[in-house]
Amino acid sequence: MPALPAVTRRPPYWSQACAELSAQDAVMGQLIEQFRASELRYRSDPVITLARAIVSQQISVKAAESIWNRLLESMGELTAQRLAQARLPTLRNVGLSQRKAEYLKNVGAHFHKRILIAERWHEMEDEAVIEDLCQLKGIGRWTAEMFLIFNLQRPDVFPVADIGLLKAIQRHYNAGRAIGPRKLSQLDKRWRPWRTVATWYLWRSLDPIPVEY
């Protein structure tokens, strides 16, 4: 399988976030202790992060991992130029839908032509980055939030539309029952300013494969 840019682990705020979350939330403390051996992983290449998030839209972690690996095998090297120039049938053959194949080509074209300049996002507020990314076809708020978490390493992202996150909250905080807006708001406030870390451990509690974009 072709090599990808090296994975960097453990954002600089991780230890502090884990300590503070554990101190103020017993359930979260148990999850952090249970999965202490694994931590959020991220890569610095924005094209790879966005491509992987698009592949993962509305499918399971396991299914996304399988399609992603086939995509890497097919592409040889995943770059903006290669995505932009890839043929749609080639992308479809790895298991992507027509729309996702088009979205990937579009992302590749925007980065290859320097229409999107990732470097400037490091200095922008979260909502400004989300607004910028959502102008690109195929990228909605969820995908932009994944980018904030896994590429820009923002510590306080709470993707409340994420099905896995909601499922984990229901399991650990509401005996498996649907979570109401009041309870969700309470947890939202409790986990600030480390909602990214709380989200990651809740994801981790559901899947044997750690979430990675």
Model's pTM, two decimal places?
0.90
How far does CA 145 lie from the centroid of its chain?
Answer: 7
pLDDT of residue 15: 94
pLDDT of residue 37: 84
CA–CA dist 152, 8 (Å, integer): 12
> What residue ranges of the chain are covered by domains with CATH 1.10.1670.40?
8-40+157-204
pLDDT, one tens digit per residue, over 58-73 is 898 889 999 999 999 9
Please say whether the beta carbons of 78 and 49 come within 8 A. no
Kindly report the CATH class assigned to 43-150: mainly alpha
CA–CA dist 213, 146 (Å, integer): 7
Q: Report percent pLDDT > 90 for the chain.
A: 78
CA–CA dist 138, 5 (Å, integer): 24
Provide the sign of the torsion angle of the four alpha carbons 27, 63, 135, 82, taken in this order: positive
pLDDT of residue 1: 43
> What residue ranges of the chain are covered by domains with CATH 1.10.340.30?
43-150
Question: Of 159, 171, 161, which Cα lies nearest the Cα of 198?
Answer: 159
pLDDT, one tens digit per residue, over 8-42 is 667 999 999 999 999 999 999 999 999 988 888 87
pLDDT, one tens digit per residue, over 136-150 is 999 999 999 999 999
Please say whether the beta carbons of 8 and 43 come within 8 A. yes
For residue 204, pLDDT beyond 80: yes
CA–CA dist 10, 41 (Å, integer): 7
CA 170-171-174 angle, 5° bins: 55
The fold of the 8-40+157-204 domain, in CATH, is Endonuclease Iii, domain 2 (1.10.1670)
